[in-house]
Amino acid sequence: MTAKVGPWSETIPKDYARLMREFGIEEFGDLAEELPDPNHLMRRRIIFGHRDFQRVLGAMRSGEKFAVMTGLMPSGRMHLGHKLVVDQLVWYQRHGAEIFLCVADIEAHATRGLTLQDAERLAIEEYLVNFQALGLDLERCNLYFQSRSDAVRNLAYTLGRKVNLSELRAIYGFSGETSASHIFYPLIDVADILHPQLEEFGGPRPTVVPVGIDQDPHLRLARDVASRFKREFGFIPPSSTYHRLLRGLTGGKMSSSNPETAIFLTDPPEAVERKIRNAFTGGRPTAKEQRERGGDPDKCVVYELHVYHLTPDDRELLKLREACESGEIICGECKAKTVERLKVFLAEHKKRRKNAEAGVKKLIK
Amino acid sequence: MTAKVGPWSETIPKDYARLMREFGIEEFGDLAEELPDPNHLMRRRIIFGHRDFQRVLGAMRSGEKFAVMTGLMPSGRMHLGHKLVVDQLVWYQRHGAEIFLCVADIEAHATRGLTLQDAERLAIEEYLVNFQALGLDLERCNLYFQSRSDAVRNLAYTLGRKVNLSELRAIYGFSGETSASHIFYPLIDVADILHPQLEEFGGPRPTVVPVGIDQDPHLRLARDVASRFKREFGFIPPSSTYHRLLRGLTGGKMSSSNPETAIFLTDPPEAVERKIRNAFTGGRPTAKEQRERGGDPDKCVVYELHVYHLTPDDRELLKLREACESGEIICGECKAKTVERLKVFLAEHKKRRKNAEAGVKKLIK
């Protein structure tokens, strides 16, 4: 957990570091170098932590089967923050993983009040079409809706026999006000994570779940539950990786429900211009001061967009960082360049969405 | 709740009466006389209580649609005590009801630890074949397994959003030790009860659930939940009827797990002889004393078999009662007669099972 001088920050934020110590998450760190062809998220330590990832690495190296499990909750528009997971899936798919992709429509229903019909529509239009357009081959994924998977829902009841209320309260802090659906939901989530290891889905094998650190409680529960049912199902405790979330454009949290904080994958050019123009940066109060003293890229959410998405080439990113720190480029210029790059990306993405649409709809029906 | 002189006891046992007062269950009583062609269970007040049964009676009289909902939990062998519900279903089916029959395999799994495969096998061999052999036309029923019904499981999550933990604890007394599956199970049960009223299953209509009084908590919850979702689904609160359970042959509770307490529907003749020989009666210490003072049919579980199952004709039952009370017939003779009647019934039932088997299996696959 040492800060290095480089084009991206390798310091793990304090609150993450505390959680890692508390719950025994290991640093992803140099594991990235052991990976074949690590992607920019791995190289740049955006994926900063893991549990048991060696198991997956071992499978990749020896050419054994392994799975990646993730879910999407249809509850708003998909933005660049969500792209992070898709980029990982695309990478894993290219490296031989079997991808399990769960549409968490029951969760959207239980926690956000969407009808299952609305959740389906949203899942297709806002998520799956984007996933495919971002390069994930959905036809080769094990894609399913929670509300239609007998295997997952029935496994949830099996697993739920060995998880009691005290335990759920300790993990999730449930109170008397918590609804029955909310209380049971973690078991569905655990069943999602473990079901790829059922015989009918390929049997026990290393599985990795890429998540934000806020999802760790589900992972801890899934690992505990896996060991409780080891004899019955032969489950291997699932591995996980933890990525930093992309900050919102205004400096706080990125959120679908606050549109100015996020670039949506279907944003029109005007929206992109406006949002980037208003974005929080690491600039100085005046242009003059910035030319003289340089900006602070580690504070800047625009720079973060380049680190996470817009500048996959490390040398190019380093140049941008140096130009910022030296005052060679100031915020207005950098923002204009960023807007251009985003516009090109979104225009191409729009075309790819068009190509993806029919295929995705066929896949669901 | 007055005792009448007749061939069967009409006194409602004290503990039932207390529950009825406490939870507002009404006496079934004279409603039986308003029914077209009431069966012996209704005439004899074995069905002793109800909630809102008038609603169903109204539908029957005006020829409107109504539904009957019941479930079977595959967890042991089916005995004469279970026949009680089947007799009611047969009667309702003859009177135009749409019957919804749920195989509670998730419940068997969640509360008894059966695998879903074992639960299915047991459901078919021990229950459904018997149901069909007892005169229920399963092909005309809406028969389903909980573990395979998307509609029921998804409805459970919808309903569970408006039921909180405090409420479940108040009704079922759950503690920290209670498993997650057990906690959520009541919502599945409520979804079973209410799903016939979803549009896709025929829409809102009077529904009656015939149960033992121990099942009343589920019914109260289902009625509360129905009103919470009235606007969304138009649910009519389900009606219910309550029947007395057949006592066990040894005088206590009848239970599959204690074979000497029950006549199973597949018992061989020797078992029937032995069980009836050992059955608890209302007889006197000596034959002489019984000839002089008569027996007490209301104490006698053998007599109860006649009331519930073996002697559907009221006049014939009255004769048996009088013969017992006058000492004209004593226990040994009565038991021999009972064994004969049971043997004939079970032999015929065996033939009817044979005829039913292929049809039931075809229905499931």
List chain A domain ranges.
14-245, 259-356
| Highest mean pLDDT: which range of A66-70, A213-217, B359-363 | A66-70
Residue B156 C-alpha, separation from nearest chain A C-alpha, in angstroms: 8
pLDDT of amino acid B8: 60
The mean per-residue pLDDT over the stretch B218-243 comes to: 96
pLDDT of amino acid A177: 95
pLDDT of amino acid A1: 33
pLDDT at position B344 over 80: yes
Burial class of residue A85 in the structure, from the number of CB atoms within 10 Å of its CB (0-12 exposed, 13-18 middle, 19+ buried): buried
pLDDT at position B5 over 50: no
pLDDT at position B205 over 90: yes
pLDDT at position A142 over 90: yes
Of B237-246, B338-347, B356-365, the range with the lowest mean pLDDT is B356-365
pLDDT at position A83 over 70: yes
Q: Which residues of B touch A147 (CB under 8 A)?
A: 150, 154
pLDDT at position B47 over 90: yes
pLDDT bracket for residue A3 (50, 70, 90): very low
Please indicate whether, in this complex, the C-beta atoms of B165 and A181 are within 8 angstroms of each other: no
pLDDT at position B7 over 60: no
The mean per-residue pLDDT over the stretch B153-162 comes to: 93
pLDDT digits (tens, 9 = 90+) for A222-258: 999 999 999 999 999 999 999 998 999 999 899 888 9
Closest to B164 (Cβ–Cβ): which among A166, A177, A187?
Answer: A177
Ramachandran area for residue B234 (φ above 0: left; ψ -120 to 50: alpha; else beta): left
pLDDT bracket for residue B18 (50, 70, 90): confident
Closest to B181 (Cβ–Cβ): which among A148, A160, A182?
Answer: A160
pLDDT of amino acid A203: 97
Residue A148 C-alpha, separation from nearest chain B C-alpha, in angstroms: 6
CATH code at A14-245: 3.40.50.620
pLDDT, mean over chain A: 92
pLDDT bracket for residue B69 (50, 70, 90): very high
Burial class of residue A32 in the structure, from the number of CB atoms within 10 Å of its CB (0-12 exposed, 13-18 middle, 19+ buried): middle
Domain at B259-356, CATH from 3.30.565.10, 1.10.240.10, 3.40.640.10, 1.10.1740.10? 1.10.240.10
- Biggest distance spanned by C-alpha atoms of chain A: 69
Please indicate whether, in this complex, the C-beta atoms of B163 and A177 are within 8 angstroms of each other: no
Closest to B179 (Cβ–Cβ): which among A153, A161, A174?
Answer: A161
Cβ atoms A52, A239 nearer than 8 A? yes
More confident residue, B208 or A359: B208
Q: Which residues of A touch B162 (CB under 8 A)?
A: 179
